[in-house]
Structure 1
């Protein structure tokens, strides 16, 4: 079976994270199923020189955020799991509560109930207690919180390098190890 990962992109700042995930997964020949929130489409306009159509063209398949009848809304549709990059606090909170209002949060809920890997690249700072409680809740449910915190040991020379390193490390959590990631080799 082909490896298959759902990629969710929300409206939190950091759309480049989701775009880079799609690029790295395509290079690894992983089948991707993309779902973008409406806010993500708006944020894309402010943060990148790409159109929504260009981002969607990076995915193997695109699902409308309101299409709760999509393949990724069912546990019988086999995937390795789901990466949400970036993950807004709103999406995190929906997932934590189990009250899903879109395909994005429904797909994440399905991944959790099927005990598959859910990685959330949460983009918010500072955090209040409600945010931290939601993070604790989804962690207790089986998700992994992986904020895009840049590593500096590899001496990144650009934002692009930091994005690639953060996304590559998130993909490591699915057992997908990109050559684009700088690995610590010890002293």
Structure 2
């Protein structure tokens, strides 16, 4: 049955998706997710954008922070622990954190919900909803790897935005869109432009 939705966002939305943008490099992933989701009338987006993310948007992109906020159906302050998405009774399809900083990974791994991004992610995990973390850091030390393992044990999916090349990307945005499309696949949200592997053209090796 469709969820009972609050009167915001697309009028016929049947799914809510939380999008968190944190201060790691790669703010364009979260921005493109919001842009692409706007074309889907059945998805309502709830954005949490941290102060560090706002700084990164200014440094890395030509977007204005307010223009990014305007892409979402509803925006929640990053320190508002009383926001709707901080409760399990507010039903959602889950949460995409794009990009995900090591600080946020640590909070998710250790259930440390001092701010709304981590709290909303923890709520999704306790309700057995999908949480996808586009972790943007390299190289990694052992502490990072341990945090990834613990977040995975908690139920999150750690998805570093590793570019694919089988779709023959011609631009940087081709790479971004492919990663965002694959991330949204994990919520059973299919973007029309996502290219999928259909078998290679090369002749298989002789037996």
What are structure 1's unaligned runs of at least 5 residues?
none
* Partners of 1:168 and 1:119 in 2: CA distance: 12
Give, in angstroms, the shift of residue 180 of structure 1: 1.5
RMSD over aligned Cα, in angstroms?
Answer: 0.7
| 1:60 to 2:73 alignment | yes
Residue 27 of structure 1: SS of its match in structure 2? Answer: coil
Count of residue pairs brought into register by the alignment: 187
* Cα shift readout 1:127-162 (whole Å, capped 9, x = no counterpart): 011111010001011110111110011110111000
Structure 1 runs (4+) deviating above 2 angstroms are none
TM-score normalised over the length of structure 2: 0.89
* Cα shift readout 1:45-80 (whole Å, capped 9, x = no counterpart): 001111111000000000000111100000000000
TM-score normalised over the length of structure 1: 0.98
The corresponding residue for 1:31 is: 44
* Partners of 1:50 and 1:154 in 2: CA distance: 27
Alignment of 1:15-94 (within 5 A): 15-29=27-41, 30-94=43-107
The corresponding residue for 1:119 is: 132
The corresponding residue for 1:4 is: 16
What are structure 2's unaligned runs of at least 5 residues?
3-13, 201-207
Greater share of residues in helix = 1
